[in-house]
Structure formats: C-alpha cells, structure tokens
Amino acid sequence: MEENIKAFRKVSMIPILIGFISFLQIRLLGGVLSPFEVFAVLFFFKQFFFSNQIKFKVFKNELYKAFEKLLIIWSICQIVSDLVNQTYLITSLKGVLAPIFILLSLRLLLIIYKFLNDNNFIDDFIKGMTLSLIFNLILISENLEFFLKMGGLLTIALLIYTFSNNRKINLMLNIFFIFISFIFGIRSSLLIFLILIFNKFRREELTNKNLNLDIISNTFLGIIKYFSIILILLAISPLANITNQLIANFYQNEQSLEKIENQSKGNIFSARIEYFSFFDAFKDSPLIGHGSWPIDKDYKYFLISQKGDISKKNESKRSLIEGSKARSRTPSGYPYMPSHSFIQQNVIWAGFFASLFYLYALNLNLFMISNFHLKYTLSLIFIKYTYDMFFSSLGYNRFYLPLVCLITICSFYKFNKKQIQ
C-alpha cells in the first residue's frame, strides 16, 4: 500500500468507532473477549440460521481461504489435544475458540470493509484501535515505565503514524522512538523501531513477479525461517551482556540499573528463556501437544527454561521451585509450561500442525516487509506481528489478528492488480 501524497486528511468516525470497540475487553467464563468478537459470532449465527444474502467475492480470495483453512485446522488440533490430555472443559473452550473468534472477526471485518468501500478504512480503524489500547493501558498502569513496557510506546507511535504520511517526519519520529526505547530499556520496542528504520532504506519495489500464495510452499518456507532464526538467537544469546553493559552506561542510579538489567539478562533481542525448554516440550509431544494452558507438574520444562537465565545460574532447583510457587498464577500452585510466543504456544498446546496458520503468515509477513512499499503504519504492524510470533503470548494479542489478515489480503490484492495492469 503506497503512501498518500497528502500529509493529513479528514477522518471517518465509523471505522474509528469500530476499531475502538474491537479492543475493549469483556471477561466471560474466565476468559477475555472483545465486543467485536461477540458481534462477529452473533452475526455469523444470524446469517447461518436466518439468511445468507451477504456474499462478497472476497470470500473466494485465495488468501482468505488459506487463513480460513489454517484457523480451522488450529481449532481441530486443539480439540484433539485437549481430549487426549483430558483438559478441563472451560479451559479447553478458551483454547479451542480462539482461532474461531479470529476467523469470525476476520469475516465480519471483511464484510464491513467491503460494505463501507472506504479507502482509508484501515488507517481509521487503526486510530480507533490505538485509542482503545491506550485507554486500557492507562487504566492498568501504575507508572510511566509500566505503560511503556506494556506496549504504550508502540501504540502511541502507531497512532501518530496514521495521521502523517510524510516520510521525513515519520523518519525523525522513528529515531526519537528508538532513543526512548533505549533509555527505558524496552527491548521489544527498540528492536521493532530499528527494523522499521532499516526497512525504509530500500530503494526498489518488487515488480514483474507472480506471487505464489499457496499454503504448502509458504508454510514450508515459514518453518525454515522460524526455526533458523530461533536457533541463531539461542546460539548468540550469551552476548546479552554486551547489550546490558551499553544500557548500564546510561544509568547512575543503582535501583534503575538493576531494574533494566533484570529485564534484559539471559537473552539478546528478547530471545526469551522459554525457548530453552521449547524443544524438549515439542519433542515430548510433537503432534498432539500438551493441551490448553498445560500445567508443568514435575517442573521439568520450568527448570530447563530457568537454566537459560544468567541471573539465576547460581540458584538451586529447590530455590527456583519455591520461587515459582510463590508467584504461581495457577490454582494448583504448579507453573504453566513455559510458552511466550504465538508459534511456540500453539506447538506446545496443540502440536505442530496447529501452528501452520502462523508459519504461513510469517513467510508472507517477511515477504511484505522486504518487498512492499508499505506506509509506516502498516510496516510497524507487520514487524510487530512478526515479533509477536517469536516472542509474545497470544492472550489479548489475538484481537488485532483479524486486522492483520485484512491488511495482508488487501496488500496482495492491490499488488496483483497492479501487476495485471
């Protein structure tokens, strides 16, 4: 999607309102839904039981059909895993329904997008989304550092980029955001902003090439890229001390320095310590997984992951286990199996095939980031999405996945249309 010539334009309130309510949170049966997910489910049942008059060509789109199939496969894999692992019904429902909510939300979002026929729908939707996220963060944040650590800086950057399409202004803003990320030790924001600025040095856009969007080839490439990057990050993770020292040079206050070091020790580029146990958990149940929110009753995977944390290398197993019990989030007191990545979580919860949706999307993301001239807004979203596949738990993050799928469909459709012309 090319950048508009005008730096500023009028906004449309309908997409902003839809974006805002899509990221509010409703707690139900121990889980969290967004109002948009509720509307998407109700709308689907209304169409299924009462009428089926709304039909758009977009549902014949190759990318939409691929996303639909892979999300259904994910849900089926989660059902099988939960049955085999005898997961509690309520817990299982939260895992099984997550991909269904994403699919139904994508479906409704596509219908609204086609119905409104607004070229600026995505930008205005993002404005509403960011305002909602900022609102949520302000409610839960105790201080500025917590707000920034939980994604406040990325959200503010995203909001600002939707108002300005001026490359020079956005470049200067991005440099400023890099500076803030480094000062506050926000590793995720720092990495994403750095990738964004390097991505803008490209000179030529991809031309005269037919894009292959089939599931098999893109998923296969996604698998290779995912595991290659993870193995590289694990291999260089001891170099984290260099990053820590650079950050430490900016701090005189010991308390602030200790806080920054604790956020960064044990890894580089936020290669989280959960990856040290990921391959063991994967090896023990590669096809079925361990069920939704699996409990690590023997502390096997927990202890393996802790070995990757430099700050805890001198602690005994007993001390680590006691510390885990003290901060446990489970009713039983046992820790959850370590998983802090979209792909990692799917593999551990429901087996390898459940993660095909993300592995397919990963290859498309990397292709778009490298070859498409996207707005700063969209580049930031795709870079964040790629980062989340490696380093973020799904949770509330699933709320923005229908939007990412919509942008992907629109981006490839626009490129293919341009190629035909």
Question: How far, in Å, CA of 205 to CA of 414, rounded?
Answer: 14
- Give the tens place of pLDDT for each residue, 127-146: 999 999 998 888 888 778 78
Q: Is 30 exposed, middle or buried (0-12, 13-18, 19+ CB in 10 A)?
A: exposed
Instruction: Give the model's pLDDT for residue 218.
Output: 92
Pair of tokens at residue 329: 């989030």
Q: Would you say the pTM of this structure is higher than 0.95?
A: no
Q: Which amino acid is at 52?
A: N
pLDDT mean values, one per 10 residues, the chain (421 residues): 50 89 80 88 84 63 91 97 92 92 94 88 93 88 80 91 85 90 80 85 57 87 92 73 55 50 44 79 92 87 74 71 70 80 94 96 91 88 93 87 94 71 51
Which of 271, 237, 267 minimizes the C-alpha distance to 392? 271
- Give the tens place of pLDDT for each residue, 206-224: 555 556 788 999 999 999 9
Instruction: Give the model's pLDDT for residue 373.
Output: 81
Q: Name beta bridge partners: 28.
A: 31
> In b/e form, how buried is each residue of 389-398, taking b as 16+ CB within 10 angstroms?
bbbbbbeeeb
CA distances in angstroms from 107 to 18, 114, 244, 252, listed in the order given: 14, 11, 44, 52
Alpha helices in 351-400 (DSSP H): 356-371, 376-391
Q: What letter does residue 151 receive in the DSSP assignment?
A: I
Instruction: Give the model's pLDDT for residue 29.
Output: 63
- CB 41: neighbour CB atoms within 10 A? 17
Instruction: Give the model's pLDDT for residue 257.
Output: 47
Which of 337, 332, 326 minimizes the C-alpha distance to 299? 337
Question: How far, in Å, CA of 94 to CA of 79, rounded?
Answer: 11
Q: Is 318 exposed, middle or buried (0-12, 13-18, 19+ CB in 10 A)?
A: exposed
Which of 370, 406, 399 minimizes the C-alpha distance to 386? 370
Instruction: Give the model's pLDDT for residue 186.
Output: 79
Instruction: Give the model's pLDDT for residue 166.
Output: 80
Residue 330 CA, chain-centre distance (Å), reads 24
Instruction: Give the model's pLDDT for residue 233.
Output: 79
